[in-house]
Amino acid sequence: MGRTGKEQLRGNVASAIRDQIMARTVQPGEPLRLGQLAEQLGVSVTPVREALLLLTQDGWVTHEPNRGFRVSAVRRKDVEDTYLMWGTAEGELAARAATRATARDVDELRKLDAQIRDADPSDGHLATSLNSALHHYVSMIADAPKLEWFAGAASRLVPLQFPENFHVVPGWSDVNRTQHTPLIDAIAAGDVDQARVLAKDHFMGTGDLLMQWLDSLDFWGEPDAPHTPRGPGRLAG
């Protein structure tokens, strides 16, 4: 398997483990055993270890030398901070796009926006995929790779990942259909300040919807309580 194939496998395994954390199949503080996960996911131990190290970097998992990997608590205030940084980065990308967008770029954004509005409301995966494509196009126009990197890094820290799952959040579908047009108008007009504000507000508002929904699910548990190791019998292999 080539380098790209290995990276894709590692990413797929990381996504599968993240889904287990989100679904509470594994609980905060619980050990993650390499062999058990490898068997569940039908892969070898190596991509599981690599995936867990990736998830450690993104804060989903903790790694204690000689003691293995454990599920981290997802803290509400950390998600709030993530959206603050994500919204700021996306605001700056939109502002940069407002200085660079051509008529053709605006046409492409409007086409994507129209597809979002016309999409079947029951097809949430299509809506989230189109949403991701629109924001990616804004990033391409902006041509600011460092800002795009920060936005991408923030997106990996959010408990629901684009484009697979966000359509289940109550209220997101209306936001997706209505808030892109004013942003595109600002980019088309070259209005840097308005583009920045609208993009940041769009992401911060999306974060508020997510937080309200996770609150209703009692998702956070006891996020600020420090974890106390449970003893050798509960440690990862």
Q: Are 119 and 130 in contact (CB under 8 A)?
A: yes
Quick check: 20 pLDDT over 60? Answer: yes
pLDDT higher than threshold 50 for residue 225: no
**Which pLDDT does position 3 carry in this prediction?**
60
| CA gap 88, 105 in Å, rounded | 22
Strand partners, 70: 31, 62
CA distance from start to end of the chain = 26
- String of b and e for 65-85 (b: at least 16 CB within 10 Å)? eeebbbbbbbbbeebeebbee
CA distance 55 to 228: 20
The answer on pLDDT for 169 being more than 80 is yes
Confidence of residue 226 (pLDDT cuts 50, 70, 90): very low
Q: Look up the CATH number of domain 76-216.
A: 1.20.120.530
The residue extents of the domains of the chain are 3-73+225-234, 76-216
Q: Which helix (H) or strand (E) holds 62?
A: strand 61-64
**66-70, 193-197, 222-226, range with the lowest pLDDT:** 222-226
pLDDT of residue 64: 84
Residue 91, exposed/middle/buried by CB under 10 A (0-12, 13-18, 19+)? buried
Q: Most distant CA pair in the chain: distance in Å?
A: 63
Q: Residue 97: its pLDDT value, please?
A: 98
Q: How far is the C-alpha of 64 from the C-alpha of 68, rounded, in Å?
A: 5
Confirm whether 3-73+225-234 and 76-216 share one CATH topology: no
Task: Summarize pLDDT for 66-101 with one digit per residue, the tens.
Answer: 789 999 888 899 889 999 999 999 999 999 999 999
Its pTM stands at 0.74
Per-residue confidence (pLDDT) for residue 2, from 0 to 100: 58
CATH node for 3-73+225-234: 1.10.10.10
Q: Write out the DSSP string of 123-180.
A: -HHHHHHHHHHHHHHHHHHHT-HHHHHHHHHHHTTSSS-TTTSGGGSTTHHHHHHHSH
Which of the pair, 190 or 119, is modelled with greater confidence? Answer: 190
Nearest to 19 by CA among 34, 40, 35: 40
